[in-house]
Structure 1
Amino acid sequence: MGGRLQFTLNSWLSKKGSNKHENRDSCSVYLNHDVVFAILVDATDHGLNGIEFSSDWKNHLINLVKKQGNLSPAHIRMGIFNAHCMLRNKGYIHEKAAYAILVLDKKAGVGWTLNCGDCRVGGVNRNGDVLWLTPVHSAANAFGEEFTIKHAQSIERNSLTKCLRIRHFDEPAVSQFELDNYEMWCMATDGFWVDHVLLGEDITTLKDDASVLTLALSVGDINLQTDCANFEYINNTSAE
């Protein structure tokens, strides 16, 4: 699924849904001279500690990236597995989340995504068209078919077939792409890309949390439009 969206470059937009008691979307971005690393998490309503669950998991991966010299999808996948074990040890019994990870390797000229659930990463080309680079893991498209408006309208849409949860480790889907193919990238939770974009609902009246991050290779400052402290930005370029 692709499309044309209006984006503010290098921005984080996040809004709590009217049916939610707190905004459980969150995002972390880390960058140095060689790599841009971004994590988007959408914690479900399961459990009382969804925000802490997401934060602990993201922090584990950010610390890995800070220490790891050469990143690869295999390194990130192992980090996700180790973070999963960490969550188990902390006793997050009920909490669950969808997530997406974006890695932009400036030196190699390639990028990758890893995701579980219905958070998505898209590449935006020179014409402003969005090409979604990640699959959707939901019962609505259980056979892995492309997610369409028909799936968005299904009652099975919110049943995830893959997610972050301590009871079972779900393998993330991995994709790779050339950086030259895109001008920028976006990362969105389902409240944004399904309810707002696919179904055309007004973002001010959405029932679900809705969030979107936009990034270019030259990140610079991030413009924040959020209703809570759910964004972390670590710029390590000046420390090198």
Structure 2
Amino acid sequence: MIFFSRTVKGQAREDNRDALGALFDGVRGVFVIADGTSRPGSGDLARTLTNHLINDYQNRLAQGFSDSSRESVALLLRGLMQDAHASLYSNGFEGSASYLVAVVVAGFLAVAYEGDCCAGVVMSGGTVSWLTAPHCLANWRRDRSHRQLATDSGRHHISRCFKARKQPDPEIVTRAMGKGEKLVLATDGFWADLSDMVQARLLEADWTAAPEVDDDASWIVVQMPA
């Protein structure tokens, strides 16, 4: 398994409120992407949440928790989010964030998410087949493509996210991962603000040019072994 990640600060903000985290221990890959909202403290929250989830996942495995099946991973991820919520907000963090946690292990992918961070599989030609539907006002019927949502201002109104007054309730998506498949995890600054052509270029590890974006854009690319 090979992976790389990139983040680009948007021109509309003074700071980058996206956060990325990844680990591969020889058996599994654990990947986290978070996008802080405009609320004060959200950038710090996104970064701390990302680090917390990566570290806590490793700690739970060391304690004997299993991730050998889709059901056990889903249970583990829900527990991670509950503990992160209790820990971070009891320690004075403010703000809110969209988040997505992806685990690739034992030939399958499990994703837990709330908000508009998305996971997809890269098809031939570099186009992305998105696996997750954003939680936003523009997609309340959950029947619109990412390209349709990209032009709707309602996509900026997030309907679910990591926030103080609501316990996490992540949507879980699972699928088998085939040999040689390429996975992408991205914030809305990537999937909504960049054209399909620019996305395809940025999904290549040797493409180093940074796109010009208003919103922060971040993405993780995971290449499965052939």
TM-score normalised by the chain length of structure 2: 0.82
Residue 114 (1) aligns with residue 112 (2):
yes
1:207 aligns with 214
2:202 aligns with none
- CA-to-aligned-CA distance 1:131-160 (integer Å, 9 cap, x gap): 211111000111222334343222211000
- Indicate if the aligned counterparts of 1:43 and 1:97 stay in contact, CA closer than 8 A: yes
Q: Which sections of structure 1, spanning at least 5 residues, go unmatched?
A: 1-8, 219-240
- CA-to-aligned-CA distance 1:65-96 (integer Å, 9 cap, x gap): 21233221111111111101112202224x11
- Indicate if the aligned counterparts of 1:126 and 1:182 stay in contact, CA closer than 8 A: no
Cα RMSD after superposing both structures: 2.4
1:230 aligns with none
1:63 deviates by 2.0
Matched ranges for 1:50-61 at <5 A: 50-61=42-53
1:206 alignment partner AA:
V
- Indicate if the aligned counterparts of 2:17 and 2:44 stay in contact, CA closer than 8 A: no
Q: Matched residues in 1 for 2:3 and 2:23: separation? A: 13
Q: Matched residues in 1 for 2:124 and 2:146: separation? A: 24
1:10 deviates by 2.9
- Indicate if the aligned counterparts of 2:100 and 2:114 stay in contact, CA closer than 8 A: yes
- Indicate if the aligned counterparts of 1:13 and 1:213 stay in contact, CA closer than 8 A: yes
2:153 aligns with 155
The 1:199/1:152 distance shift into structure 2, 3 A limit, reads: farther
1:169 deviates by 2.0
2:96 aligns with 96
2:75 aligns with 74
1:129 deviates by 4.3
1:36 deviates by 0.2
Q: Matched residues in 1 for 2:148 and 2:109: separation? A: 30
- CA-to-aligned-CA distance 1:197-228 (integer Å, 9 cap, x gap): 3697996332111111111246xxxxxxxxxx
Residue 65 (1) aligns with residue 72 (2):
no
Q: Matched residues in 1 for 2:180 and 2:86: separation? A: 35
Bigger relative contact order, structure 1 or 2 (CA pairs below 8 A, ≥6 apart): 1
How many residues align? The count is 206
1:234 aligns with none
The 1:101/1:182 distance shift into structure 2, 3 A limit, reads: farther
SS of 2:178's equivalent in the other structure is helix
Q: Matched residues in 1 for 2:141 and 2:168: separation? A: 16
Q: Matched residues in 2 for 1:22 and 1:156: separation? A: 23
Counterpart among 149, 169, 172 of residue 171 in structure 1: 169
User: If each structure's helix is expressed as a fraction of its own residues, which one has the higher value?
Assistant: 2
The 1:42/1:83 distance shift into structure 2, 3 A limit, reads: same
Q: Matched residues in 2 for 1:212 and 1:62: separation? A: 17
- Indicate if the aligned counterparts of 2:82 and 2:168 stay in contact, CA closer than 8 A: no
1:16 alignment partner AA:
K
Provide the identity percentage. 25
